[in-house]
Amino acid sequence: MENQEKKVMLSGIKPSGDLTLGSYLGAIKNWGARSEEFDCYYFMADMHAITVRHDPAALRRRTLEQLAQYIACGLDPEKNTLFVQSHVHQHAELAWVLNCYAMFGELSRMTQFKDKSAKNAENINGGLFTYPCLMAADILLYQPDVVPVGEDQKQHVELTRNIVQRFNGIYGDVFKMPEPYVAKVGARIMNLVDPKSKMSKSDDTNTGRVLLMDDPAVIMKQFKRAITDSDTERCVRYDPEEKPGVANLMQIYAATTGKSFDEIEKEFDGQGYGKFKPAVGEAVVEMLRPIQEEARRIMADKAYLEGVYRAGAEKAEYIANKTLRKVYKKVGFLPR
């Protein structure tokens, strides 16, 4: 196997909406700068984006934009394998096999399935239900050691681990057991005006969602109107239970600047929220400024992007195919 001495890392994001500050702080930011240590695979999970009704043209556009944004966030295509999920047909094929090793009860307990079916009562389709099997296939095809995800996806990686245990229990050591990696800070960025809900790509523009490519003026506006609390002291203190809005802003500021919660509390001691909220906004604007410039520059070069995703799919397919062949042999499919 290639890079046998290196451990493997893999993750993906579905292009179901424009990338948010949550996608960046909870996921992409933790992927970069790992390529020396790991053999890294990152993909655009376009097949996951069709479990809810969607606009095909927007999906195509976002898939390409997401690739440009991955690169702008520091994922060098020379050092990381960047690809589009639907370009590697082995994902769908392994997903079918894994469907047969995931239990109805397990899939029914997935929080995301319960949330999404409540929100899309008119379209609770089979894909929404078996989505975690496709995600398990995405992971297991590449035999990764580590899967960096935000808090909300950890349950799907845990289910993948159950599938590995069940499958390996029957057929021997076919899949490597993947470990989820959830960062200590930034793994659950909440909506700025509804700090009890996760900031999501599908949130409405007029709500407290910040996009990776939002204009600086829009970002500042969103932070200035972020919900804090009615605490009369207006004290910047980390208390997710009592002060979820402030805790979320502290998470964002900590993940953006690398400062600890203690340092942040001292920095804004006695200054109230009036100083704190724009300071968080400015830190985010400055962090995103070079990423946005680079993403726009890369997005203008379609030929370059095509080259990247073609090369990525070729490398990914080579590895994915090896795993799929092994699985097909184990389950008893007659070779062609």
Which residues are catalytic, by number?
116, 198, 201
180 interacts with ligand TYM by CB under 6 A? no
Stretch that binds ligand TYM, among 61-69, 135-143, 291-299, 303-311 (CB under 6 A): 135-143
Q: Closest approach of Cβ 121 to ligand TYM, in Å?
A: 20
Q: Which of positions 11-30 make contact with ligand TYM (CB under 6 A)? A: 11-14, 22-23, 26-27
**Quick check: 187 binds ligand TYM (CB under 6 A)?**
yes
Q: What angle do CA 115, 120, 122 make, to 5 degrees?
A: 140
Q: Does 87 bind ligand TYM (CB under 6 A)?
A: no
DSSP 8-state assignment for residue 225: T
Q: Mask: binding to ligand TYM, 46-65, rule CB under 6 A, as x and -? A: --x-----------------
User: Contact between 316 and ligand TYM (CB under 6 A)?
Assistant: no
Burial of 12 (0-12, 13-18, 19+ CB in 10 A): buried
Stretch that binds ligand TYM, among 100-108, 145-153, 225-233, 294-302 (CB under 6 A): 145-153
CB 142 within 8 A of CB 10: yes
User: How far is 321 from 141, CA to CA, in rounded Å?
Assistant: 8
Q: Which residues of 98-129 are buried (b: 16+ CB within 10 A; e: fewer)?
A: bbebbeeeebeebeebeebbeeeeeeeeebbb
Rounded to whole angstroms, how far apart are CA atoms 336 and 322? 15
Residue 195 within binding range of ligand TYM, rule CB under 6 A: no
Give me the residues that bind ligand TYM (CB under 6 A), please: 11-14, 22-23, 26-27, 45, 48, 135, 138-139, 147, 149-150, 152-153, 187-189, 198-199
